[in-house]
A and B are shown apart, each in its own frame.
Chain A
Amino acid sequence: MPTHLNRALENGPSGEKGSPTALPPFRVADSVPTGERLLPMVRRPVAATANAGYPQQLLGIGVPTSKTARSTSTRKKDKAVKTKTKGQKLSVYDSWLETLVPVASILWALVLWGYSIATINPLQMTDLGLVSVLPNTAYLAIVLLTFSFTWTLHQGRAPTWLLWLHVASFVFMIHGAPALVYDTLRYSWAWKHLGIIDYIQRHGFVDPNASSLMIYHNWPGFFSFFAYLFDVAGIKDGVALASWAPVFFNLIEIGALALIFRASTNDRRLVWQGIWFYFLTNWVGQEYFSPQALNYFLHLVIIGICLAWFRTPMGGEPERLHHKLVQPFYDALHHLRQRAASTDSQALNAPAVQRSGLLVMMIVLFVVIATSHQLTPIVTVLAIAALVFFRRCSASSLPMLMAVMMVTWIIYGASFFVRDELFVLFKSFGTITSNIGNNLLDLSNVTLGQKIVAYAGRSLTMAVMLLALAGCLVRIRRGKWDLSLMLLAFAPFLLLLGNGYGGEVVFRVYLFALPFLAFFMAALLYPTIERGNSAWTVVSNMVLSLLLFAGFNLAYYGKDQMYFFTSQEVEASQFLYEHAPANSLLIEGSRNYPSQFRNYENFTYVPLSREKPENQANWLEDPVSVFTRWMRNTEYNAAFLVLTRSQRAEVDARLTTLPEGALNKIEAALRASPQFSVVYSNQDAVIFTLTERLDSVKALQTAAMAKGG
């Protein structure tokens, strides 16, 4: 190796140590208006580039300056961009005015937002959720931020950190608002997740055969991680940290999305517009303190690595299969692959050691996914398999390896859950209509507010699908096939063949397809690097962003009357879970309250909202005698019935099978009956027990306290 080259390499990938002149001549992504490198690559000298003929300038990595190594079309693009940016020196990019104005806009938007949410009283929410109490200044903040983002992006000169700051501010405003407004953790499932963490902290292991929340014990990665982290960091109460989880997960997702998009286009406007649209349309709310949020991020990183470092170059002739029936299909497939691949991003020449390291990293990430979540590994395998099948990923054995790891975990690690659920899994396999239908709310019963919220979510989803389809067609028309992204957008839909996933599969399909749909939506505004330069793009972007936000605002915040819990509800739950003896029966109005976050295994749960409708009539007619009979059961050491504000909100919005006002009726009947005593009560929650068991409950509590103390 030449001496100057060796010296340059010793100075590290960026050549920080030595003089730039020590490096061989590089030319970095001329076709990018900002001159920014788009892909995370080792800067490689000409001599070390294996396939110098590849159009790597599209990828933003160091390429030879030799004209012979560049295609004619690329030279034309370079010329166009140079003409466009003629007269604009690099110093203009960094001028304080171009930076200061967007930064000031962001700060002003944050101040406006902060002022707005400080005035919100969440108790005044209607069945439209947080939207019903958001003041106008909050919308003004969103408009200001959106305008700043669209204008800054349109200029095409903003540094990456400034674009990141816009998106991060949006994430902070939207996902940080509940943490600031509500004081307590939003969404009842987040509380249940804290309960599993509490279990691990107390026992030091999981119970795969647990009677309640068994699924989490069979895929415990997320819970063991946070139990470990809370213990090491000395965090006694994880509620505050869990409240900010949506902000954290969304912020780290920005990096993963940028990795995916930057591997797919050299137009940074398209990259950041795609990221912006992703956060404007991600209304399904899976970024809360949950295994899904963590594993989704890891899934995106794996996809990003595959797209950035493991792309396959165009293949040669199709293989001859010597089978009359199969060969025509195979030839057609090959033709499609070649046609798409000719316009898709091309293979990289990353050093073998880097690719090996990244391959190991993907396997490590997948080990975590396979042991932490049920659905994500399936999507990851489907996505990578689709890329490999269409020859868009060179790690051809990766899907098989991942599938083996996933199945191994299901058979050995999650055997208890699979044994119990196998029949249900097989029964629902292939029943697409039922899998979709079970996920959608029956709107004939719900309140008007909830109807609007449901329609907002559905309309937003349909709009995203249609806009993405239009964007995809526009890209194809312009000669950009983006086959990899099309495959990744389509792969999650195969989940619909599986099962309903507890009534959520449609939302998860949307979530997993969304990054790629958002990219295609952005392609409507910036289809190619030469287009999207007019002022109309800014106007269209503003209008589209605000329309999408209108739908997102309703769909995302629309159920917050139920998802929000008051501190009184939390106090009541804390009292119950900390003082109730082990092996207690707990009758709940519904599952929607801060539940199961402490000593959760001490209870057998009976949520009234999940009782069969035909049984509901019995205990609604005469709750005192029916609940007395249930709670007298001596199999349990104690029995409690808990009713809270958030349970009532869910039932009264007619989101359960219980009739409106059912819980109020039950509470009134029990309060009036001498057979029931109130063991705890505040303005938002009440806990009953049988009067005849009151003494035994007290005795058990005293014994438990004596034992503990």
Chain B
Amino acid sequence: MNRSRWVPSLIILIGIVVAVASQADLPMRAPLVLLYSLVAPGLVFVRFLQIQDRFVELTLAVALSIALNVIVSEFMIFTRAWSPTTGFFVLVYLCMAAALYDLISGSRWAVRSYE
């Protein structure tokens, strides 16, 4: 499986595991949730930008992940609807949807932009 398929596949798979782990008191809950939250939300979107350098792609992914998490959490405190689990699941579903789209469409999204 080439990279264009295994990365979104992995994001979907880990998303499912993390979603389950976040609801249970598993020993790996904290590292799994932290790692997923700090990389996955940004990575699924940065992948669409077709950044060639993996090191830079990861840096941008972490930055965007942090930003998306901050925006979700700020939305919850300003609307006085504090529910971290809901916020987290919104991000997980969003990630999965984007990863699924990535998986189905491959790199055609970017190819269209050249034409």
Contacts and interface: CB of A to CB of B under 8 A. Distances in A.
Interface of A: 1, 6, 9-14, 16-17, 37, 39-43, 48, 160, 164, 200, 203-206, 220-222, 224-225, 227-229, 231-235, 252, 255-256, 258-259, 262, 294, 297-298, 301, 304-305, 308, 351-354, 357-358, 361, 364-365, 367-368, 371-372
B114 to A, nearest CB: 6
B72 A228 contact: yes
B76 to A, nearest CB: 7
A227 B70 CA distance: 10
B2 A228 contact: no
B17 interface: no
Contacts of B13: none
Interface string B57-93: 1111011101111111110111011101101100000
B84 A228 contact: yes
Interface of B: 2-4, 22, 25, 29-30, 33-34, 37, 45-46, 48-53, 55-60, 62-64, 66-74, 76-78, 80-82, 84-85, 87-88, 106-108, 110-111, 113-115
Query: Which residue, A10, A42, A229, A232, has most C-beta atoms of chain B within 10 A?
Result: A232
Query: Which residue, A48, A206, A228, A301, has most C-beta atoms of chain B within 10 A?
Result: A228
B113 A255 contact: no
A37 B53 contact: yes
A256 B63 contact: yes
B106 A10 contact: yes
Contact of A225 (B58, B73, B108): B73
A538 to B, nearest CB: 25
A298 B45 CA distance: 17
19 contacts: A9-B110, A10-B107, A12-B2, A40-B56, A40-B57, A48-B114, A204-B81, A222-B70, A224-B73, A225-B73, A228-B88, A233-B33, A298-B67, A305-B60, A351-B50, A351-B113, A357-B48, A361-B60, A365-B64
A252 to B, nearest CB: 5
A86 B39 CA distance: 41
Contact of A12 (B4, B25, B74, B113): B4
A441 B115 CA distance: 62
A365 B57 contact: no
Nearest to A302: B63
A381 B105 CA distance: 37
Main secondary structure of the interface of A (DSSP, over half): helix
Given A204-B80, A220-B74, A234-B25, A255 B52 contact: no
B57 A351 contact: no
A301 B70 contact: no
A256 B58 CA distance: 10
B50 A206 contact: no
Given A297-B63, A358-B49, 10 more contacts: A13-B50, A16-B3, A16-B4, A17-B2, A43-B52, A204-B76, A298-B66, A361-B49, A361-B60, A367-B71
A233 B111 contact: no
A11 B111 CA distance: 10
B63 A301 contact: yes
A354 B64 contact: no
A353 B113 contact: yes
Contacts of B76: 204, 224, 228
Nearest to A206: B77
A232 B106 contact: no
B80 A14 contact: no
B80 A229 contact: no
Nearest to A229: B37
B111 A9 contact: yes
Contact of A256 (B48, B59, B110): B59
B25 to A, nearest CB: 7
Contacts of A37: 52-53
B64 A364 contact: yes
B49 A205 contact: no
B59 A41 contact: no
A224 B82 CA distance: 10
A224 B49 contact: no
B63 A225 contact: no
Contacts of A164: 55
A205 B77 CA distance: 4
Nearest to A354: B49
B1 to A, nearest CB: 10
B63 A351 contact: no
B29 A233 contact: yes
Nearest to A204: B82
Nearest to A236: B30
A231 to B, nearest CB: 4
Nearest to A62: B52
B56 A354 contact: no
A144 B115 CA distance: 53
Contact of A368 (B49, B70, B84): B70
Contacts of B80: 204-205
B3 A225 contact: no
Nearest to B114: A48
B95 to A, nearest CB: 14
Contacts of A220: 74, 77
Contacts of B53: 37, 39-41
Contacts of A13: 50-52, 107, 110
Given A10-B108, A233-B29, A233-B30, A259 B52 contact: no
Contacts of B77: 200, 204-206, 220, 224
A310 to B, nearest CB: 14
B34 A233 contact: yes
A297 B42 CA distance: 15
